[in-house]
Amino acid sequence: MVLDITSLINGKAPKIDFEYEIDAQGEDTDILPPSDVSFTAPVRVKGIVTDNAGYMALSLTAEIDYISRCARCLEDISGTFTLKFNRKVATKGTLQDEDNDEYVIVKNGFLDIDRELVDDLLLEFPAKLLCKEECKGLCSKCGKNLNFGECDCPKKKEIDPRLAILQKLLENDETM
């Protein structure tokens, strides 16, 4: 969204509230979720641009609904990811380094919010999604979901064959 903030720059308004949606499935959108995630609704954006004696700030919240699979047990999960986005606002030509990530640049009285927001959304979206924080995952032998109870596999812990020589060293050390 490109927001006209000329009334804020000219001192005619102390703040500008806004609310809009970004189509996460649209052709013109760069919102590409991780391969195992699907966004199920548009990104909902709600925010405010404020002017406090020449110091302008952008503050917004973006929410997006998703469906995926748990990274540990592979159960289907769904949820809403929320991103808090806060940036300082500066007019073009007032900063020495306009590539600074702390600022959003106003060009000709207009503030382009989407590019910065989409970048942050994709960077902050979790790499692994879990059905619950204490998910026990799947048994490495039989594949049973351990969240629904223990499996019938023998409880003897198998040693990685590459580390078996170390186990022999430990056993020899104990006999001495």
Q: What percentage of residues in the chain have a pLDDT greater than 70?
A: 86
Q: How confident is the model at residue 2, as a pLDDT?
A: 86
For the entire predicted model, the pTM comes to: 0.74
56 CA to centre of own chain? 26
* pLDDT, position 67: 93
Q: What pLDDT is stored for residue 136 in this prediction?
A: 94
- 38 and 7 Cβ atoms separated by less than 8 Å: no
Residue type, 113: I
Distance, in Å, from the CA atom of 63 to the CA atom of 113, rounded to the nearest integer, reads 15
Mean pLDDT of the chain: 84
Q: Compute the distance between CA of residue 108 and CA of residue 98 in angstroms, rounded to an integer.
A: 15
pLDDT in the model for residue 25: 64
**Spans of all domains in the chain:** 2-124, 146-175
Mean pLDDT of 63-91: 92
So what's the pLDDT on residue 170?
78
The token pair that represents 40 in the structure block = 């199920």
Structure tokens at 82: 């929320």
For the segment 113-121, the average pLDDT, to the nearest whole number, is: 84
Structure tokens at 33: 């979720």
172 has a pLDDT exceeding 70: yes
For residue 171, what pLDDT is reported? 78
Task: Report the alpha-carbon distance of residue 148 to residue 125 in Å, rounded.
Answer: 28
Name the DSSP letter for residue 134: T
- Residue 122 vs residue 33, higher pLDDT: 122
* The predicted structure's pLDDT at residue 111: 86
d(CA 49, CA 165): 64
Is residue 116 pLDDT above 90, yes or no? Answer: no
**Residue 77 corresponds to which tokens in the numbers above?**
């999960």
- Rounded CA-CA distance 122/135 in Å is 25
Q: What is the pLDDT of residue 19?
A: 94
